[in-house]
Chain A
């Protein structure tokens, strides 16, 4: 073994990663080469010192909770969706993908994250972090939770159940949940351009994506982004969206 070959193997020797043959050849070379032996020893001391002194900070409790919450929301939402697919709705999912592909000029279906989150919670009353029918109370809670001023609209034909926060594509947004005619409506609040491609959309103009089972209606009202998801008929969903745009009385 040449000195250059030996020195290239030094990290493997330090980290106990050499194969049996390499290890024997390496040791034999060190026996007869003082320079390489010194080199290897210094490298080993450096690596040991590095490992001993290198800080390994652990997550602060609050940050850990936030990240775990992200993890649970991801796994929870997707898990329910996958069970749905396994339950025999594969054709339905394929249809959604096909419709999405045709409906959008954008490469990505931006409504997917909204629909999946809605699907994960539509059939249950759990998941709400605040339960209240008061739009003001819910708005105050969402504002505190997201750090962004939130306006929670009222709709004469829908009953506010409560709210929670949700992380979509790395952004924290508010989610107000309503019930209308026995069906749930998720209204996502506070997203930005990256969550809602609004190019060419006039203020208060409704953007509609008809889907099965969930349709999406989106709009910008007074500079705020709104995305509504529900299995209500599209016309009904649009009516409710119009009610949201009316000034509060």
Chain B
């Protein structure tokens, strides 16, 4: 059982670490969060049904562990922004103007739960059903959060590109960046 658990976790280690880092925002915090996730995961491994989705299962433990920590610390990460989700017309253009690290920073600044949803779907390439397990919500909610999260991200990236002095124009008008 030990070897099987280790092997399954190791297969998702990069992904787990990336996501833990996104949640905690510091390396030591991510390592501690992973450690607690491993402990809880191993303790509960007997209840894991072989053949079902281990990735969703272990990510759900990680998210729950993080939520418990945040609750214990009295922090409130769920701050939703009241921004319009109406898309701008230049979403694909901003990617040509910004570095990958800048895009990642913009995602990190998204409020929860949009940040986690965008990261799980667009970076970790999870299916909605997996994200639903991880975030403990219906799949329809995953879709609506993703819709809103991508919309918020698009606005942030566009603002970032404008701050840098880039001319971001409306493609419908035939403009060029």
Contacts and interface: CB of A to CB of B under 8 A. Distances in A.
Nearest to B124: A56
B36 interface: yes
Contacts of B163: none
B31 A66 contact: yes
B122 A75 contact: no
A10 B147 contact: yes
A58 B122 CA distance: 16
B39 to A, nearest CB: 5
B154 interface: yes
B10 interface: yes
Contacts of A15: 121, 127-128, 146
A48 B95 CA distance: 10
Interface stretch (B48-56, B73-81, B86-94): B86-94
A58 to B, nearest CB: 5
Given A39-B87, A43-B87, A79-B1, A59 B14 contact: yes
Contact of A46 (B143, B144, B154): B154
A106 B38 CA distance: 24
Interface string A11-24: 11001010000000
B75 to A, nearest CB: 17
Contacts of A181: none
B123 to A, nearest CB: 5
Interface string A33-71: 000001100110111111111111111000110111011
A143 to B, nearest CB: 19
Given A11-B150, A15-B121, A51-B122, A67 B95 contact: no
Given A12-B128, A49-B95, A67-B31, A42 B143 contact: no
B17 A59 contact: yes
B95 A50 contact: yes
Contact of A63 (B27, B32, B123): B27
A71 B7 CA distance: 10
Given A45-B92, A49-B91, A50-B153, A70 B100 contact: no
Contacts, number: 122
A129 B17 CA distance: 26
Contacts of B34: 67, 70
A74 B38 contact: yes
Q: Is the interface of A mostly helix, strand, loop or mixed?
A: helix
Interface string B6-37: 10011001100110000000010001101110
A81 to B, nearest CB: 10
Interface in B66-124: 87, 89, 91-92, 94-95, 98, 100-101, 103-104, 107, 118, 121-123
Nearest to A74: B38
Given A10-B147, A49-B92, A51-B122, A74 B39 contact: yes
Interface of A: 7-12, 15, 17, 38-39, 42-43, 45-59, 63-64, 66-68, 70-72, 74-76, 78-79, 82, 167, 169-170
23 contacts: A8-B143, A8-B144, A11-B147, A11-B150, A42-B91, A45-B92, A46-B150, A50-B118, A50-B153, A51-B122, A52-B95, A54-B100, A54-B122, A55-B101, A63-B27, A64-B13, A67-B13, A70-B34, A75-B2, A76-B2, A79-B42, A82-B1, A167-B35
